Amino acid sequence: MRKIKEQAQEYFSRIPDGHRNAIQRPWDRVVDRTLRAMIEKANNNGDCIINVGDGIYRPVPWDPVDEKEFHEYLNKEDSRANAIQLKRLCMQKTFEGWKNNATYFEHKRETEKFE
């Protein structure tokens, strides 16, 4: 596990500024997953690292390609967040429906005992 973190850290330390210098994702799935976790943590703590398919990099303000890809990245994140919210709402409604049905059927079974 130590080696995986070290490999991911090597990739992380090489993340450049600008799309022209973007690095490719690691070929090793475990290293890639670890790197993506590092990027997620960094992005939640004041960094700005994106990947829209052509490599990983920090977008440079006022570079038209970087700004376009930055907004593309944000739109994808918004779409994911909306999909998660919709899924949660559907699951919550389904669960509440099951709960209400279970309560109803439990009540019905109890009343049938007294008939």
Residues 9-20: tens digit of each pLDDT: 999 999 999 999
What is the Cα–Cα distance from 66 to 17, expressed in whole angstroms? 10
Structure-token pair, residue 13: 């330390």
Domain enclosing residue 77, as ranges: 2-113
State the Rg of the chain over Cα.
Answer: 23
- The 3-state DSSP class for residue 63 equals coil
Residues 39-54: tens digit of each pLDDT: 999 999 999 999 999 9
> Once rounded to an integer, what is the mean pLDDT over residues 33-43?
99
pLDDT above 70 for 1? no
> Do the Cβ atoms of 48 and 71 come closer than 8 Å?
no
pLDDT value, residue 56: 99
Residues 50-107: tens digit of each pLDDT: 999 999 999 999 999 999 999 999 999 999 999 999 999 999 998 898 888 877 777 7
Residues 51-63: tens digit of each pLDDT: 999 999 999 999 9
pLDDT above 70 for 115? no
CA angle 50, 56, 59 (to 5 degrees): 50
Q: Please state the pTM of the whole predicted model.
A: 0.82
DSSP state of 25: P
Name 56's bridge partners.
23, 51
Counting the structural domains of the chain, the total is: 1
